[in-house]
Structures are given as C-alpha cells and as structure tokens.
Amino acid sequence: MSRILKQYDEETLFLSYHGENGFYYPYIDDRIENMSRNGPFDKWLLEKYSGGDLQILPTDTVIDCGSFVGAFSIAAYKKNVQRIFSVEPSTRNFKSLNLNIHHYNAENKITSVNIGLGNKCAKLKLNLSELSCENSFLKCDQGATGKTEIVDVKTLDIFIKENDIDVDNLYLKVEAEGFEPEIIQGLGNNRPRVIAVDVTAERNMESPRVEIENQLKKWGYETYNTHRCLFGLKDE
C-alpha cells in the first residue's frame, strides 16, 4: 500500500493510500492518516451514515450538512443520486470541499454551499479549531484557537424551499460538532425520508442523542442507533 501526499498550496494537502481515490484536506493528523489507510474516506463515511434499511437510493436528493471536505457527498455521488447539496460553514474546509468535487468530476451533481444551518436565520460566530473538522457554533471540544468566523446561517426549512427539494426523497445527513439539535429544529414541518445524525458527545461534552431521538419519535420516525449515529426512518 503506497502513500500519496501532494501539497496543493500552503494550507491544502492531497492524501491517499488508494491511488487517486483520495481527498484534499486543510490539514493532516493521525486520525485522517488512519482513516485514509484503512480505506477511502468516502467509503468509511458511507458505512457510518447508512446501512440496512437506511440505504441511499438513486431517487434521493442528499443534503450533506457539515460536509467538511465532501467525502460523504462523494459517496452519495457514486450512488448516482439525483442531487447533492454539500453544506459547509468553514471557508477553510470549503476550499478542500470544492477541490474534491472537481477531483471526482462531480460538479454535475454536487452543489457546494458555504453557509451554516440552524434553528433560525442569522449571522453566527463559528469557533475555529486547529483541527478544522472540530469547528463549532458551540465551544470547540478540541484544538480551540480562540479565533472565529462570521457565518450566514439558514434553517433547513428555508434551504429546502429555496432549492425546491422533494422531502419525500430526501436523505439528510447531519454532523455539526454538537449543534445538531438546532439543525433538526430548523426542519420546520419538513420530514425527510431518512435523517442520519452524528450524536458523538460534542455538545458541551455530552451527546444530543436523547434530545434528537425524542424529537424524531414525536414526528413519527422509526429510530435506529449505532455507536456514533442516530437514524430516523420516516414511517410510510
């Protein structure tokens, strides 16, 4: 297994252990190295955010909320879905995201959007981490720099309307470093076919699993749990 590491610019690197099936990143650390070594990053995220009855279907539109460098979006692209919206609030991550969309020739399906999502439309401070996958609208749980970035934030309700998205065929993936409850609240009356949420203990060092699961059950979703994720499948 050969390692490919290429410098794109002073803050962006391309890493792969699997030929050209690699990704551009704004930084490289041991966690990214290990994930890359064990398999393409998009494959790892597809396994994390789908499985069993929770498969991404060719009829789906995907919203990849907290896209980071776009690996889940690329996984969805390989599933030949209808459309993908890669939503990433950090300008640093957004550059790598766009490089990866171009690397996989996915511009025809993937729309990248440099905003945040939440429970109201506003301008919010994004707290920046040295590990830019840990940036958060809450307190960074690792690598806090003390620096912030002002981000335009919309609700999913507004975003869905603006982009004419069919929620009955919507696969919503959410990873937002503890801010997931606010994003789910922003759905309003929209009920995606599948909701897949990272519920790692990153909300003031606690998991939002119970809060989100209770909300999904109130909306009539059947819920599934894994070690790191909560899934909601709309009851037909």
Nearest 5°: the CA angle 121, 122, 126 is 120
We report the CATH number of the domain holding residue 98 as 3.40.50.150
Domain contains 59: yes
- Sign of the CA dihedral with 106 first, then 151, 62, and 231 last: positive
Provide the number of structural domains found in the chain: 1
Give the pLDDT band of residue 129 (cuts 50, 70, 90): very high
Domain contains 224: yes
Domain contains 4: no
Domain contains 157: yes
- pTM higher than 0.85: yes
Does position 84 have pLDDT exceeding 90, yes or no?
yes
Tell me which residue range forms the domain holding 128: 40-234
Helix or strand or coil: residue 17? coil
Domain contains 33: no
Give the pLDDT band of residue 15 (cuts 50, 70, 90): very high
Domain contains 94: yes
Q: How far apart are CA 71 and CA 82, in angstroms?
A: 17
What are the tokens at 19?
A: 């030929």
Domain contains 85: yes
What are the tokens at 68?
A: 């980071």
Domain contains 2: no
Among candidate residues 131, 48, 118, the one with its CA nearest the CA of residue 89: 118
